[in-house]
Structure 1
């Protein structure tokens, strides 16, 4: 897929892909604040498993409804040559949410929402190094500012340079998801529901079994149901729309549009927890906004970008 626009404007296909990316971001933005609430009652690893199981069960329902359609989707199914990317995708989707939830337990939800933007940096740099996607000068500056803002958020006390290990765990989660995004990009031309189904049920089951193995106890049924519903929206719907967007935008460009998610998460976190962040948060927010704007503006640096 190429970005070709003689007028410098996106095509209808590209605009639809952008809309998918923004809707994916809005869905995922619910994750940090509501996961923070659930962590009071649900152990970290089991919560990660329930969130992904919710995503997988949602795709089971969607697949069931699609069978009654007169014109079923002509999308291609995954095959044997996709197996390495599928395995890597599932394993990384087990690791990343566990790291995120462990970090979320000791870090303010607003900070975690903002730190999630580091996923753009990880996705883009890995796309450049592993899959030769082009990074424009504007996108490069955006990555630099986002990285600088995450460094600001990684110190719990700038006066004594006290490092926040919760923030480090969140950044490691973003790195894991950045690699996972690129693995998913390699199979994004295949059946989207099948991809999300495998991500959800595979990663969810793996995390759930791991949680039970280390001695975590299942919470009460209403909390299980709430975790599954959050996973359905924040992970299932979000991933479905994200994969659809990747087909026409590529991994790095999709992650740039997806970057609105942390800012929605910040607003929700402040409203829910009534937490007034420290001054370094606001400085990091300013740098993050500027960096995100530059990543969006990078599409104007060139008329054609090869994404596959």
Structure 2
């Protein structure tokens, strides 16, 4: 996670952004949802419906259209390809993060951030970069905490725990549209003609992904584990011992607990309690 999500992805993105219009770059970031879902489905065996495969096709087609540049040597924009590579790095990070999603998110993100930040700083200093002014560094750290490496990463790790990598990546596909909106408000440049064709196709793909529903009879084997949980679902009706922590104001707590074997049917996502196999 530190290597792919904290080091390779942001460095690749920083070098790719100057050669790509802001709105186009924001829209290309939707490829993260495609790459995340592909890795989740093919390597980690998360269930993906036909609806989602159609959505992935729409988003991929839009990304290819935005990457096409007749003036380039191979007909493809290298900066745009760099953004797609960034999305692939983040997709690896997302799927690895899903494996750790039951752990303390603050600890996981702290280790990732400190490791990636230290390595990136050393690489920058070795390359001859100079430290920015104090005010600039403070502003960058505030934005990073809110939008990239701090609060957002913790919330995303909690989403990975609750709905799995493929579905969390699907919901993440909404965020680039906000990036497009702000880019049009902040920058005077207008996107090229291909952008206006790719935008509605990508919007259709994002809508197909976030509106998916999934329900079928499934079985939960008995398991003992620990994670933060509530007691308002069908999986956490266990008894408590004297040493278990009290519920927080939000009705949550964390302790080692057991799940008895259970077979039932209800709408669900591939969270840490629903990583079962599916019949094709």
Q: TM-score, normalised by structure 1?
A: 0.68
CA distance 1:231–1:150, shift in 2 (3 Å): same
Corresponding position: 1:124 with 2:58: no
Q: Which residue matches 1:292?
A: 206
Alignment counterpart, residue 101 of structure 2, candidates 174, 188, 201: 188
Change (3 A) 1:272 1:301: farther
Give the structure 1 partner of residue 79 of structure 2: 166
Corresponding residue number in structure 2 for 1:218: 131
List gaps (5 residues or longer) in structure 2.
217-266, 276-280
What SS does structure 2 have at the residue aligned with 1:244?
A: helix
Q: CA separation in 2, counterparts of 1:159 and 1:247?
A: 42
TM-superposed CA distance for 1:216, in Å, is: 1.6
Q: What's the CA shift for 1:196?
A: 1.3
How many residue pairs are counted as aligned between the two chains? 220
Structure 1 portions without partners, runs of 5+: 1-88
* Match status 1:282 vs 2:196: yes
Alignment of 1:185-264 (within 5 A): 185-235=98-148, 236-264=150-178
TM-score, normalization: structure 2? 0.75
2:51 equivalent in structure 1: 138
- 1:150 Cα deviation (Å)? 0.4
Where is the strand percentage greater, Structure 1 or Structure 2? 2
Distance in 1 between residues matched to 2:74 and 2:184, nearest whole Å: 25
Higher relative contact order (CA 8 A, sep 6+): 1
1:24: which partner in 2? Answer: none
Distance 1:181 1:233 in 2: 18
2:186 pairs with one of 264, 267, 272: 272
Alpha-carbon distance between aligned partners in 1 of 2:37 and 2:53, rounded to the nearest angstrom: 9
- Residues 122/237 of structure 1: CA separation in 2 closer, same or farther (3 Å cut): same
Whether the 8 Å CA contact 1:138–1:297 is kept in 2: the answer is no
Instruction: After superposing the two structures, state which structure 1 stretch, 215-224 or 131-140, moved more.
Output: 215-224
> In terms of Rg, which structure is larger?
2
Contact residue 142 and residue 294 of structure 1 kept, 8 A:
yes
Cα shift readout 1:28-70 (whole Å, capped 9, x = no counterpart): xxxxxxxxxxxxxxxxxxxxxxxxxxxxxxxxxxxxxxxxxxx
- Greater helix fraction, Structure 1 or Structure 2: 1
- Partners of 1:134 and 1:305 within 8 A in 2: no
Please name the residue that 1:64 is paired with: none
CA shift for structure 1 position 214: 1.5
Question: Post-superposition shift, 1:182?
Answer: 0.3
Shift of 1:161: 7.1
Checking the alignment, whether the CA contact within 8 Å between 1:138 and 1:301 is kept in structure 2 is no
